[in-house]
Chains A and B, each alone.
Chain A
Amino acid sequence: MSFLGYPRLDGSVGTRNYVLVIPQGLIAKTIGDFVVGTRTIRTVDHGSGRTANDRARIARVLIGLGRNPNVASVIVHAASPGVGYPELTAERLANEIAASGKRVEIIDPAKDGGVYGAITKGMKLARMMVYEASKLRRVEVGDEHLCLGVKCGYSDTTSGIAGNPAIGYLFDKVVKAGGTAFFGETTEIIGAEHALAKRAVTPGVAQAILDAVAHREALAKSTGLDIRTINPIPANIKGGISSLEEKSLGAIHKAGTAPIQGVLQYAEKPKSKGLFFVDNWMGSYSIFVGYAAAGSNLVMFQLGGGGLTGRDLMEGSPAVVAPFLWCTGNPRTYAMARDNIDFYSGSVIESKEDPQAAGERLYKTVIDIASGTLSRSETLVYTEPIDLCLEEPRF
């Protein structure tokens, strides 16, 4: 019940050891291209024309990524963070991240000789920071330092039978050991929310789950459309899923059976350990970044894939600083994309083992990857761009 990780000053433990350069843009990208061991965020959202709520979300993402246990130190550039909004200035972001005890440096084109000068200074700083970070050694720590995030996608009927139950077993095991686990995708608990609400630790948390679903379902109804023309997506229907309720009832198996401690907003860090529902959008370009910003040090995508063909090479979804795992319970998906799959539970469909035995194997895979073994997607340089989960109109 332990893994090898990088202890941080705030008591958290990393599964990786990166230097983060934020926010997005030319300076961060260029430093990352020249210095190994760095990470940055590739998104177009820098706050312009966004409401206070959505600017708060952007700030939570940037600060949360900086404070993530997988980050050793951080460079914040002041090229145009938040185009002047106070919650997104380089000083504010740097101060919030530095409160975790990490080294944080600001580079500023206005003071450091323009963009060329800021890049030069940033490259020098980043090289020193990754060198210093490399002196850290992994130590054996308990599973209470795991913070997992999961999404299921391209779901098919194998997801609810094999893939998600195996993840659920893993979540139960990690939560029982004192760790933290996130699941979410509010649209995709519609039809299953009553089962989740029963598992809430307080009536208030149960109501928050029901309220999140009621809000999302009202928005869906306001389109005047049958949700089935939007979600389940055509790939789900091609994989045998017939309604949103069926998709949701299969999806919640990934949340295991532990009590639900609370409902979190996108990129919100929980105040305690345990299992949390995150009120977020299902998009894979947004959800994993949100989990990483909330503190996840490992994330996983449980893939059905029955509606996919010809995908023998699959890029990972962006999680910036968290290792990303592909899991599947579909024998055909595994045969199609074997090089990409970190964990396979199609053995359940083939009647070779039960979901608990599969979940035990998944736990061992997670411990290996948390301890430093690369996930399959980490062997690729490319990840998809980021689409932050912002909720309000732009003006």
Chain B
Amino acid sequence: MTAKRAILMHSKDNVATSVEEIQPGDPVQVSGGAESRALTATEAIPFGFKIALEEIPQGALIVKYGETIGKAGRTITKGTLVHVHNLEGTRARGDLERMGK
């Protein structure tokens, strides 16, 4: 089975961006710069969406472009979809400020 492609933007990243429609069970080839690694998708990852390259514990930072794009709202397992359901923004959170957090 041909591996589906995903793009790594920075060597520090713990997510990669799918550039194909990835189905559960698909092998995924992640490449970017000099780096290349393989994993298996455990969920559907639509074109343009992010796949977790490793387990990301609840509260840990999610890194893309070598920078923080948010933190894990719950523990994210390797090979699953990373999006608004499990990634919390860390900036301009007026809602948290209002609740005194």
Residues of A in contact with B (beta carbons under 8 Å apart):
156-158, 160-161, 187, 190-192, 195, 217, 220-228, 237, 239-240, 242-246, 249-250, 306, 330, 332, 349-351
Contact = CB atoms under 8 A, between A and B. Distances in A.
A227 B93 contact: yes
A249 B65 contact: yes
B49 A224 contact: no
B74 to A, nearest CB: 14
Contacts of A223: 94
Contact of B84 (A160, A161, A242, A332): A242
B89 to A, nearest CB: 4
Contact of A246 (B5, B70, B97): B70
Interface in B45-97: 46-50, 64-65, 67-70, 82-84, 87-97
Contacts, number: 102
A243 B17 contact: no
Interface residues of B, number: 31
B7 to A, nearest CB: 6
A228 B89 contact: yes
Contact of A349 (B19, B49, B67, B87): B19
Contacts of A332: 47
A244 to B, nearest CB: 6
B91 A157 contact: no
A306 B48 contact: yes
Contacts of B84: 228, 237, 242-243
Contacts of B70: 242-243, 245-246
Nearest to B67: A249
Given A160-B65, A161-B17, A242 B91 contact: no
From A223, A225, A228, name the one whose CB has the most chain B CB atoms within 10 angstroms: A228
A245 B50 contact: no
Contacts of A158: 48
B34 to A, nearest CB: 13
A347 to B, nearest CB: 12
A251 B48 CA distance: 15
Contacts of B5: 351
A249 B48 contact: no
A293 B74 CA distance: 47
Which A-B residue pairs are the 4 nearest by beta carbons? A227-B92, A240-B48, A246-B69, A243-B89
